[in-house]
Structure formats: C-alpha cells, structure tokens
C-alpha cells in the first residue's frame, strides 16, 4: 500500500527524523493561510501516489503566501500520471547545502532489507544506480539483530566527511530503520536528505510503501489509506476480499488463483482478445465472492463477455456454480458468459449450471477461444 | 523416487483443527500420507478424526511420534513463529501453506531455517506431492499420477492446470512442488531443479514461473550450466501491467525488471523449451522424454 508524503513524514517525525514543518491543504486559501502562519518561503507539493511529481509541475517553491495560493490553485486538480491532485503539502522550504539519498528496500535476492545511500541525492536513484553505481553504498541488514551502530556510522561517513554530519546521518539511519520495521514497510526513503549550510540534516522528502500483508497488525496504517487515489472498482473488490486490477480490454475474467488468472489473461491475448481485468477469487469456496466478482466486472461498460476459469482444488466448483446462478438471477447478465470449470465437485457444478440454462466447458483453451469470439460480437462455435 | 517427500515422510500438521488444516489433513490421510501428529496449542491429548494424536507443541509431537516433516496451516501473523517452532523441534522439511505472511517476518525466518539446514517450502504455496507416495499440502491428489516428470511452480491452480493436462495425456510425475508466490520463500527454482537433476526417477522437468524478481533468470542459468535433463518452461503474466501486484505478493514488475518477455528470453537463451500456452507442456514434455 502506498501512503502520501505527508503521512510518511508524520511517521518518520514520530521516530525522531528531522522533518521541516508542514501542513496539508485542500484549497488554495488553506495553502495561503498555512504559508502565512509559517511566515517564511514554502514548498507547495502535490500529494498523489506517483513518482516524478516535480517534473510534472506538482512541486513549487513559493516566496510569499500569495504565491503559495497561486501555485496551489494550479496544482490542486492537476492530473499527474492519471491521478487527480486533491491535496497539497505546504512545507517550510529548506536551505539547501547538499543533497543525499537514503533508502531501504526489501531485496528479494539477498532476502533482507538493504540500505541504499548515496551522496548523489535529489534525483532518481535508479538513474544513479544505472550510470554511476560506485556512488551508491548497499548495506544489507540482518533483521534478527537490527541495524548495528557501526553499520549506521559506515553509511554516515560514506555520505559526509564532516564528523558532525556523519554522526547526525548515522542517527537518522537508525531512526529510518526503526520506522521501516515498525510500520511493516517494503520500501522507505528520504530523498533528498539535505545538509543545510548551517550544518544541520533535514529530510525534505519522505516516501513509504507498506507491505499489504502487514496491514492486519497495523490498523493505524490501514487508516491512512487514501481510497480517492484508487480505481473505485478496485476499492470495492478489496472490501469483498477479491484481488482485482482493472485493465483496458473487453473480456472480463473471473479466475481462482493468481497464477492461473495471469495465464488466463495471457491466453485471452494469445487468441486475439484483450483482458478487461485481473481477478482472483482466491482459494476459499464462497458463493458470495462470485456474486461480488460478477457485480464488479459487469459494472465496467467495456466488458463484452465474461469468462470464468475455475480449477477446483480448495475451491469447490459447485459453490462457484451456485454463485453464478444466484448472481444472474438477481441481476440478469447483459453480456454473454463462458464458463470453464473442472476439479472438486465438478459433476455437481455442471448439473447446477445445466439446470439453470448455462453450459460449462472443462477445457481452458476451448473456453478462452469462445469468450474472445463472443467479445468481438461473433457467435460462439 | 521423488524429491523432498516420499514413503518415509512422517507428517505433523500445525493448525490441524483449523478450517483449512482439518479439511486438508483428511485429504492427505485418504491419499495415504502417514500423518502421525497434529498440533493445536490447548488441544493436546485429543485426537483428530479418532486417529491422529494432537499435541500442544511441535516439540511434543516430534518427541512422541518421530515426525520428520511439518505442514503449516496457521494464520499469517503466526506463521513465522510456527516455521521456527518446527525447525527447532527437529523436523527436516517444513511446508508452509499460509498466505499473507509479512515479508519482514520472512527476513528473520529465512536465515534461521538455512543455518539449521532445514528444507522450507513456501510460504504462500500449495505444497508438495509425490504421486503414489505422499501429499503434503493442498495439491489435489486425483489430478496426479506417478511418472517421470518433475514439476516446479510459483503458482497453485496454474500448477494443477498443467499437471492435469500432463496426467490426461498419460504423463505422470515424480514430485510436484509449489514453491509459492511470495518475494522471500524458503525454496527456489534452483533448489528444485538441483534435486530433480539428482533424482534418478525424474527424466524431464516442467517449470512454471511468473513475472517479478529474477528467480527464473537464475534458474535458466542453472539449467544451462548444470542440468542434463530436459526442462520445459512457462511464464505467466505477459499481459500484466507494470507496478501492480498481480495477486501474489511477489508478482510485480518493477521498472523494466521482472517482465515476462525478459524471463522468456532467458529461458530460450538457456535452451529451455518454452510453452506458450499451458497445454503446450504436453507436446514439449513428450519430446523431452523421447
């Protein structure tokens, strides 16, 4: 789960990381009032779940409250990578001496969180990694022991030759690491970490991505979720315990299991169609899930055909069949449906479907070919 | 022969009285797996289905029954502890079915397990089945038949699909391993490929990967350098958009890394026959077995 910059900074501040004063505004007048309250030059920053906000014009320096109002007017409502900006962070502008990058990411290959630090901060770290890898120090952390003092110091001295700055940086590494672990992050970064001409370190931008699997034990972080930044159908699906990702095609897919769901989308494409979505109804057998899945998929006007691909292991195919019958009785379908199911209780499922006027196939390829054809407006073979 | 589990497997089920644990334990017993113990704290002294003794701890279960393999069906927030408990109790193989285990928990579990030389499969996986010998996890027994093909996959139902198609074509399996869809798991493709290469009964390997990470690329390198047996590969997620988690926590394309195209290229470069559709496994495996 992504959280906004202002939310990440709030968490980091709680762990002691030095963060410039800032407040969130949803209107230009609010932005002006906040700038007036701070009484110094401010940055007005778009709060959306997208990188490259600066390049898109979503981050502006403002000398006066009037300018803050003007920039906020331009930024609020702006589209950045398809997302509408609904909030801005108004924050005290830092006096910049130098900029560093500090980040932690869970590295799959090392199977550990890895610190990445670089004195070449303020810019895209992937670019630094690609062009000048020697400017980055990678430091894997054994989470059983935590970040050790000497490891934090090593990173501090990698960034700064000045002892005072290096020690400050080491302290910030510890604070960032504690915030990362305590919040269940898969990524946390400070970019840039600014050294002011007065010799103080300050985190000018902060970012955190939370492992979705941690949310059950972090209600306080789940509460930070901004549903306005997600597709409404995806929010709806999550509330029904379905994994759903909207795509641009017209074959609506309902599948059990993530791997089979991806393979089904790929096969739709292979046979000349375009999948409208990724949807995994998961392993448990519950007719209610099928009802919800159909409701979410049929809400997409692009969908011209619905394809079920169910391989019953834990999932009982008769539960899926009952779900299809229940859902379509309540809301008759406006588009054709192709059902492939095999596995646990297949005979019962086929009987239920046949009695209710549906046909079912046991073959995946056959079903996908038929669905693609129907989505194109053709007749089923 | 087979890998990881066989006729000598003596299984302890952690979370045996839970919904999933009890359902799949019945299936495992029906399949002929030697289920020697169950663990549910607080239910020690009871029996499951009148035949399997239940213990409060894995330690007690191993001491009393000599269990050498554990399967875990506990909720995600308790899974890391359950894995380490099994390892500490002395079992040699741990299969964790639980989905939704926090990845930071796994950063602690992984070195703990490795340092003790234990085989961990999963988490977030369908488990392991050696047809005709033992079934540890949730892979449906009736879709498998004994035979010469080793199967390894990051997925659950996609594995069933491929195994089912192989079985319908009369091609059986030595062992099917679902390694799981999480970013950090105990067993990777290479671990399985290495075991299949050593297993005299395995004559060919079917490998199903997906987008995200570089495990498939590493596996391709291993196949090229170390494998003498034919390998057929498949990658799910060619139509997946970048930056989105496709159900599995590990199935996400970051930047340009982890795409299906990149993995398929790596397979081809390593001489792995690529199945474009799941059904293509049948022909490629048949060719490999000749």
Look at residue B256 in the predicted model and tell me its pLDDT: 60
The gap from C-alpha A103 to its chain's centroid, in whole angstroms, comes to 18
CB A262 within 8 A of CB B246: yes
DSSP state of B174: E
* φ/ψ (deg, to 5) at A359: -115, 155
Tell me the domains of chain A and their CATH numbers: 21-92 (3.30.1490.20), 98-222 (3.30.470.20), 231-375 (3.40.50.261)
Instruction: Report the chain A residue with the minimal C-alpha distance to residue B143.
Output: A343
Q: What is the pTM of this model?
A: 0.92
Within this chain, domains B10-121 and B139-289 share the same CATH topology: yes
pLDDT the model gives residue B10: 98
The residue among B157, B221, B258 with the most chain A CBs within 10 A of its CB, best to mutate, is B157
- Give the mean pLDDT of B151-179: 95
Chain B residue with the nearest C-alpha to that of A242? B247
Centre a 10 Å sphere on the Cβ of residue B290 and count the other Cβ atoms it contains. 6
What pLDDT does residue B252 have?
66
Asked if the Cβ–Cβ distance from B210 to A270 is below 8 Å, we say: no
CB contact under 8 Å between B156 and A181, yes or no, is no
Q: Mean pLDDT, chain B, as a whole number?
A: 94
Q: Which residues of B touch A343 (CB under 8 A)?
A: 140, 143, 160
Are B236 and A266 within 8 A, CB to CB?
yes
Taking 80 as the threshold, does the pLDDT of residue B220 lie above it? Answer: yes
Q: Which residues of chain A does B255 touch, with a Cβ-Cβ cutoff of 8 Å?
A: 126
Contact B104 A143 (CB under 8 A): yes
**Closest-CA distance of chain B to residue A259, Å:** 5
Query: With 0-12 CB in 10 A as exposed, 13-18 as middle and 19+ as buried, what is B25?
Result: buried
The alpha helices in chain B, defined as continuous H runs, are 19-31, 58-65, 76-89, 103-115, 157-168, 189-198, 215-226, 260-269, 280-289
Q: Which residues contact B290 (CB under 8 A, 6 or more apart)?
A: none
A192 cis-preceded (ω within 30 degrees of 0)? yes
> Distance between CA A253 and CA A281 in Å, rounded?
10
CB B94 within 8 A of CB B119: yes
CB contact under 8 A, A212 and B245: yes
- A186 close contact with B: CB closer than 8 A: yes
Domain residue spans of chain B: 10-121, 139-289
Cα distances (Å, whole numbers) of residue B244 to A27, A180, A193, A258: 31, 21, 28, 13
Neighbours of B44 (CB within 10 A): 15
CA distances to B7, B11, B122, B175, B187 from B128, rounded to whole Å, are 13, 12, 10, 7, 12
Q: The complex's ipTM?
A: 0.89
Q: What is the distance in angstroms between the Cα of B141 and the nearest Cα belonging to chain A?
A: 9
Per-residue pLDDT at A379:
57
A30 is catalytic: no
Q: What is the pLDDT of residue B269?
A: 96
For range B61-85, the mean pLDDT = 97
Q: Do A143 and B160 lie within an 8 Å CB cutoff?
A: no
CATH number given to B139-289: 3.40.50.261
The mean pLDDT value for B25-37 works out to 97
- Indicate the residue of B107, B143, B155 with minimum beta-carbon distance to A258: B155
For residue B280, what is the nearest residue in chain A, using CA coordinates? A365
Distance from CA of A316 to the nearest CA of B (A): 12
Q: Say yes or no for a CB contact (<8 Å) between A311 and B157.
A: yes
Residue from B30, B31, B107 to probe the interface with A (highest A Cβ count within 10 Å): B107
Say which of A245, A257, A265 has its CB closest to residue B156.
A257
Q: What CA–CA distances, in Å, run from A292 to A239, A352, A358?
A: 10, 19, 19
Are B126 and A217 inside 8 Å of each other by CB?
no
Taking chain A (381 residues) in consecutive chunks of 10 residues, what is each chunk's mean pLDDT? Answer: 96 98 97 97 94 89 97 94 91 95 92 94 79 91 97 98 97 98 96 96 96 93 86 85 91 94 96 95 79 91 95 87 92 94 91 95 95 83 44
Whether B285 and B274 have beta carbons less than 8 Å apart is answered as no
Q: Does A278 reach chain B within 8 Å, measured CB to CB?
A: yes
Separation of alpha carbons B21 and B62, rounded Å: 18
H/E element, A182: helix A163-182
Q: Which of 140-159 (A) contact B at CB < 8 A?
A: 142-144
* DSSP 8-state code for residue A17: -
Asked whether the predicted pLDDT for residue B173 surpasses 90, the reply is yes
* Mean pLDDT, rounded, for B214-220: 94
Contact B161 A263 (CB under 8 A): yes
**B129 confidence band (pLDDT: 50, 70, 90):** very high
Above 80 in pLDDT, residue B249?
A: no
Interface residue of A231, A259, A340 to substitute, partner B, most B CBs within 10 Å: A259
* Minimum CA–CA partner of B125 in chain A: A257
Check pLDDT > 80 for residue B250.
Answer: no
DSSP B201: T
Identify the band that residue B243 occupies on the pLDDT scale cut at 50, 70 and 90: confident
User: DSSP 3-state assignment of B50?
Assistant: coil
CATH 3.40.50.720 fits B10-121, yes or no: yes
């Amino acid at each position: 789960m992504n959280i906004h910059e202002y939310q990440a900074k709030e968490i980091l501040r709680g762990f002691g990381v030095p963060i410039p004063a800032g407040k969130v505004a949803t209107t230009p007048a609010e932005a002006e009032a906040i700038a007036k309250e701070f009484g110094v030059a401010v940055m007005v920053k778009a709060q959306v779940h997208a990188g490259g906000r600066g390049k898109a014009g979503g981050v502006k320096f403002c000398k006066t409250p009037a300018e803050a109002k003007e920039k906020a007017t331009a930024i609020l409502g702006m589209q950045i990578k398809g997302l509408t900006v609904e909030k801005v962070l108004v924050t005290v502008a830092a006096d910049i001496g130098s900029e560093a990058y500090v980040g932690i990411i869970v590295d799959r290959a090392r199977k550990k969180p890895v610190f990445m630090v670089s004195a070449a901060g303020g810019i895209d770290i992937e670019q630094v990694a690609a062009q000048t890898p020697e400017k980055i120090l990678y430091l894997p952390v054994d989470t059983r022991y935590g970040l050790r003092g000497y490891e934090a110091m090593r990173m501090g001295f990698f960034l700064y030759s000045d002892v005072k700055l290096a020690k400050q940086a080491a302290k910030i590494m510890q604070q960032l690491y504690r915030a990362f672990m305590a919040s269940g992050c898969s990524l946390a970064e400070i970019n840039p970490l600014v050294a002011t001409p007065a010799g103080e370190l300050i985190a000018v931008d902060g970012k955190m991505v939370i492992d979705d699997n941690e949310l059950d034990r972090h209600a306080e972080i789940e509460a930070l979720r901004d549903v306005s930044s997600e597709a409404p159908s995806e929010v709806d699906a999550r509330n029904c315990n379905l994994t759903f990702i909207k795509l641009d095609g017209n074959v609506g897919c309902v599948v059990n299991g993530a791997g089979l769901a991806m393979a089904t989308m790929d096969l739709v494409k292979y046979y000349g169609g375009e999948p409208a979505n990724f949807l995994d109804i998961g392993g448990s057998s519950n007719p209610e899930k099928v009802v919800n899945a159909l409701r979410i998929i049929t809400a997409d006007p692009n969908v011209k055909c619905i394809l079920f691909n169910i391989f019953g292991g834990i999932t009982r195919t008769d539960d899926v069949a009952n779900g299809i019958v229940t859902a379509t009785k309540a809301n008759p379908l406006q588009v054709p449906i192709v059902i492939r199911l095999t596995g646990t209780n297949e005979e019962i499922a086929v009987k239920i479907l046949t009695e209710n006027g549906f046909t079912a196939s046991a073959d995946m390829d056959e079903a996908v070919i038929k669905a693609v054809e129907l989505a194109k407006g053709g007749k089923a073979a | 022969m087979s890998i990881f589990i066989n006729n000598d497997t003596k299984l302890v089920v952690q979370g045996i009285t839970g919904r999933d644990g009890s359902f799949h334990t019945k299936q495992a017993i029906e399949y002929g797996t030697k289920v020697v113990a169950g663990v549910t704290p607080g239910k020690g002294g009871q029996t499951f289905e009148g035949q399997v003794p239940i213990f409060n701890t894995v330690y007690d279960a191993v001491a009393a029954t000599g269990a050498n393999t554990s399967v875990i069906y506990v909720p995600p927030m308790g899974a890391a502890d359950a894995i380490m408990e099994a390892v500490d109790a002395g079992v040699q193989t741990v299969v964790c079915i639980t989905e939704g285990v926090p990845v930071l928990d796994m950063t602690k579990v992984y070195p703990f397990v490795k340092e003790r030389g234990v085989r961990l499969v999963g988490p977030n996986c369908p488990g392991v089945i050696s047809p005709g010998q033992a079934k540890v996890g949730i892979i449906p027994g009736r879709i498998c038949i004994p035979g010469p093909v080793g199967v390894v996959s990051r997925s659950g139902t996609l594995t069933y699909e491929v195994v089912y198609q192989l079985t319908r074509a009369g091609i059986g399996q030595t062992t099917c391993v679902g390694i799981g869809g999480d970013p950090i798991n105990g067993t990777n493709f290479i671990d399985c490929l290495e075991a299949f290469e050593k297993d005299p009964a395995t004559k060919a390997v079917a490998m199903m990967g997906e987008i995200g990470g570089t495990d498939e690329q590493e596996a391709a390198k291993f196949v090229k350098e170390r494998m003498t047996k034919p390998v057929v590969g498949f990658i799910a997620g060619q139509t997946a958009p970048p930056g989105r988690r496709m159900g599995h926590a590990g199935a996400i394309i970051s930047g340009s890394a982890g795409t299906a195209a990149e993995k398929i290229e790596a397979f081809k470069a390593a001489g792995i026959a690529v199945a474009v559709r799941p059904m293509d496994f049948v022909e490629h495996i048949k060719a490999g077995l000749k």
